Amino acid sequence: MELLTRKFIKDNRLNCSREKAIDALCNAKRVGVLTGAGISAESGIATFRGEDGLWNKLNPEELAGMSGFLKNPQLVWEWYQYRRNIIENVKPNAAHIALAEMESFYPEYSISTQNIDGLHQRAGSQTVFELHGNILRNRCMECGVTLQDDHIDEQMGIPKCSCGGLVRPNVVWFGEPLPESILTTSFEVARHADVYFSIGTSAAVYPAAYLPIEALYHGAFVIEINLEPTELTPLANTSLQGKAGEMLPALWQDVKCKVTA
Ligand code: OAD
């Protein structure tokens, strides 16, 4: 009985909270979104942390850092080519699609993503700030020119630029700064948002993890969607625990129903 009562209180609290999130989304004009690896998990792309996270099995210093790249560029390239092949063969899921749909609904709307997979754009999102770069782009470490992925021949080993410089994936590695204008714009969005989402991110990697906190600090209604609690959970106005591909389309459906009612 006690267990049942506790469950009722918990469910009731979550339901109330979800209702408030729906109200906030119905009344919002400016919506910002931060996404992380969890939003692409249902498309078949592995996350970094958590039970099956990549960083449980692999060493980020070897594979996602300049010193690892300089030590063994072949290994790093093989790992990125392996991930590119996965990404090219998966599709955006229902969460990506719901976020893309929201864009035409709000006068000010953007997604800041830590993901490098391009799935938001493939789902139809137009305003996407890639905080950690994009795996399908590469750049020369010597002259800085950006090269699209189709310029990279998988058979040729470590790619070189026409200037002779070593080519690297155009992603942000550990210890590297994030692209300044993208970061600045993402913080501006967070500061001005009426509603701010944090979806499928462990909220453990900074500076991206500051974005929902910045939004909270400036008065936004913050909605978190994640499989499990994170450091943001106790701070968020609403925290929905479950799969993004299920929770987000359901939430968005309820918002649309309420707006048109
Ligand atoms: P993480 O792997 O740290 O976190 C993924 C989060 O998604 C976890 O909190 C999971 O609980 C949650 N999750 C998993 N499946 C989900 C689902 N179907 N629906 C909702 N949530 C789900 O990924 P990020 O927070 O994106 O950086 O990691 C941030 C950065 O750390 C990455 O961009 C990468 C990594 O090292 C660099 O490589 C620079």
74-125 per-position pLDDT tens digit: 989 989 989 999 999 999 999 999 999 999 999 999 999 999 999 999 999 9
b/e code 23-62 from CB counts within 10 Å (16+ = b)? ebbeebebbbbbbbbbbbbbbebbbbbbeeebeeeeeeee
Q: Are residues 124 and 222 in the same domain?
A: yes
Q: Are residues 38 and 57 in the same domain?
A: no
Q: Quick one: which atom of ligand 1 is closest to the CA of 49?
A: 2
Q: Are residues 67 and 38 in the same domain?
A: no
Residue 51: give the domain boundaries.
Answer: 46-89+136-171
**What pLDDT, on a 0 to 100 scale, did the predictor assign at position 155?**
57
Q: Are residues 156 and 40 in the same domain?
A: no
User: Which whole-number Å values give the CA distances from 102 to 66, 99, 116, in the listed order?
Assistant: 37, 5, 21
> What is the count of structural domains for the chain?
2
Q: Are residues 5 and 64 in the same domain?
A: no
Residue 33: which CATH number?
Answer: 3.40.50.1220
What pTM, to 2 d.p., does this model score? 0.92
Cα gap 40→223, rounded to integer Å: 18
Binned at pLDDT 50, 70 and 90, residue 11 comes out as very low
> Where does the chain have alpha helices with state H?
2-27, 38-41, 54-57, 60-63, 66-71, 73-88, 94-103, 119-123, 180-192, 210-217, 244-260
**What pLDDT, on a 0 to 100 scale, did the predictor assign at position 217?**
96
Residue 53: which CATH number?
Answer: 3.30.1600.10
Q: Are residues 241 and 155 in the same domain?
A: no
Please tell me the number of Cα atoms within 13 Å of 99 on its side-chain side: 35
132: annotated active-site residue: yes
**Across 7-17, average pLDDT:** 52
Binned at pLDDT 50, 70 and 90, residue 148 comes out as confident
- Phi/psi at 193 (nearest 5 deg)? -75, 145
Which positions ≥6 away from 67 have C-beta within 8 Å? 61
Q: Are residues 81 and 121 in the same domain?
A: no
Q: Are residues 116 and 84 in the same domain?
A: no
pLDDT over 50 at 6, yes or no: no
**What pLDDT, on a 0 to 100 scale, did the predictor assign at position 172?**
96
pLDDT over 70 at 245, yes or no: yes
Active-site annotation holder among 132, 151, 192, 218: 132
Domain end marker among 122, 155, 171: 171
Domain end marker among 123, 154, 171: 171
Region of poorest pLDDT, from 65-79, 136-150, 223-237: 136-150
Among 33, 19, 20, residue whose Cα is nearest residue 212: 33
Q: Ligand 1 centroid vs 258 CA: distance in angstroms? A: 31
Q: Ligand 1 centroid vs 37 CA: distance in angstroms? A: 4
Q: Does residue 42 have its Cβ closer than 6 Å to ligand 1? A: yes
Q: Are residues 118 and 224 in the same domain?
A: yes
Q: Are residues 246 and 152 in the same domain?
A: no
Cα gap 106→121, rounded to integer Å: 17
Q: Are residues 146 and 121 in the same domain?
A: no
Region of poorest pLDDT, from 43-52, 53-62, 163-172, 179-188: 53-62
Cα gap 145→47, rounded to integer Å: 29
Among 121, 136, 112, 101, residue whose Cα is nearest residue 201: 112
Q: Quick one: which atom of ligand 1 is closest to the CA of 64?
A: 38
Domain end marker among 171, 196, 224: 171
Q: Are residues 254 and 146 in the same domain?
A: no
